[in-house]
Chain A
């Protein structure tokens, strides 16, 4: 193969230079577009602040989240005593409780979404890529699970296993991955027919290597968008379950629990509803704006 060699050491230099020339990947472009989107960028910042507040909640206030003060029951926001959001019916500081609720809600949102992401992507990509009977069978299973009423399903789980934190992740994750699997399967089927996949197959790249190196990176766009839109759904689902008393148990709290308590005392102590509800609403808005921004950034044609 003498023709493949060039005279002199010119190539070595060229290759070194090559390492310095960097192309603009589609992700670079997407990031630039996302950061140019004001709504998405401010949502990212606000969400970051909420996350940091939630993380450092114990350092910001002198009170513990389960610290009951019988002399301070249901007082409105009071800056002199550092009850910035007031206290609840048991005399617990609402600021600390709201931020602790944020921890739980965000954790449930992120973890349950990740669970649904992993299961959904693996399941959907496999079904879509293998196709044929395997696909039929796998997607009929999804259809059957889809038909189960969510609340009914959770109530059964609670009855069988008792109330606990992990059950919540499982229950929500187990429902949310179905939609993810469908989205991923559809995308995989359309990707599978693309010529670069054929090229990889013709080169002898194995099925799972193709899924990993070609299908997954190309799936990432729609999946990332769906993830950012799933997190708020999961947070809402958790709130709903907690509101019904099936979710987080005292003294642990979440936005759903706080809103549920606030709703009961809405007329006498409106701050008990207002602060957690505002936090949750802002968070949900932020996630939705980011999801929208990501969708526009990743696939500018759909804007």
Chain B
């Protein structure tokens, strides 16, 4: 078993939403409600789910950009969910994030060199200017940008190049875990492939772990070792990538997989499609029992009464699903 870097247990992030009327009590919006998973050294965990399922909130809670309402986020033995900002600072260099919108995540008034150097000035303040410049140039080279670009500004770059800058910024401090929050979703498909291959290469060379968040199962499948399927802030299924894709236990995962187009028109036309009715329910007022039951083709009375536990449903101990009536 490889070293466990991150252990998230029963993570809850609730946001108070002010009710109508003067004296209405604020109601909790359960963005993330009892999520547990681990990330091992060198592996990639993919998190999939539709919009509003809480994917980004998990990433932000791990980085403490949001304060978790409950649960533990244990990083190498330290629970960082409760640490003060000050105590957290030395740990921050190990945990970095790559954002969805490449241009928005770069300060328009800073040069590329300054942007990439910023985490370095915090993580290694003892570096001389020269050494810092050297590191930045090396990092830009590593992500496939010319070090000559250091004095240019973000708006002079394309989306794919901006994302490479974002990656350089995240990697320059040599983190151990990088959270990619929809890191390729706003890019063109051919650029997506380049960026994913770049991430895989960097992961191999630097021995990183990745948490790869996306709503696009075909992207997640390509990069992940394990996949976590999220719905309404709860884990539906978690397991090795090939098993989750090949032998989806949970009806929700099955529906997601069926929504991924097959790049062959003949197959695509003849394929049965599992269509989900309706929209994802409001996290202000989640359904009782299994949160997916309102849209589940297999839902029965028991689903409304009892919350299904996230346990192994098939033969593989590492493949967990939260469903009373799994597809096995």
Contacts and interface: CB of A to CB of B under 8 A. Distances in A.
Q: Do A and B come from one complex?
A: yes
A196 interface: yes
A295 to B, nearest CB: 17
A23 B99 contact: no
A40 to B, nearest CB: 22
Nearest to A6: B141
A160 to B, nearest CB: 42
B89 interface: yes
Contacts of B151: 18-19, 21-23
A26 interface: yes
B147 A11 contact: yes
B97 A204 contact: no
Interface residues of A, number: 34
A14 B137 contact: yes
Name, among A22, A25, A203, A213, the residue most crowded by chain B CB atoms within 10 Å (CB to CB).
A203
Interface string B171-184: 00110000000000
Contacts of A198: 60, 65, 97, 99, 105
Contact of B122 (A4, A5, A205): A205
Interface stretch (B17-25, B107-115, B215-223, B242-250): B107-115
Chain A at the B interface: SS class:
helix
A25 B152 CA distance: 7
A71 interface: no
B256 interface: no
B156 to A, nearest CB: 6
26 contacts: A6-B138, A11-B137, A15-B134, A15-B137, A18-B137, A18-B147, A21-B152, A23-B149, A23-B152, A26-B153, A26-B155, A195-B100, A195-B101, A196-B107, A201-B65, A202-B63, A203-B92, A203-B93, A203-B96, A203-B118, A203-B122, A204-B92, A204-B123, A205-B118, A218-B109, A220-B109
Interface of B: 60, 63, 65, 88-90, 92-93, 95-97, 99-101, 104-112, 115, 118-119, 122-123, 133-135, 137-139, 141-142, 146-153, 155-156, 166, 169, 173-174, 205-206
Given A11-B147, A203-B173, 9 more contacts: A3-B142, A3-B206, A4-B138, A15-B134, A18-B149, A23-B156, A26-B153, A202-B92, A204-B93
Interface of A: 1, 3-6, 11, 14-15, 17-19, 21-27, 194-196, 198-205, 213-214, 217-218, 220
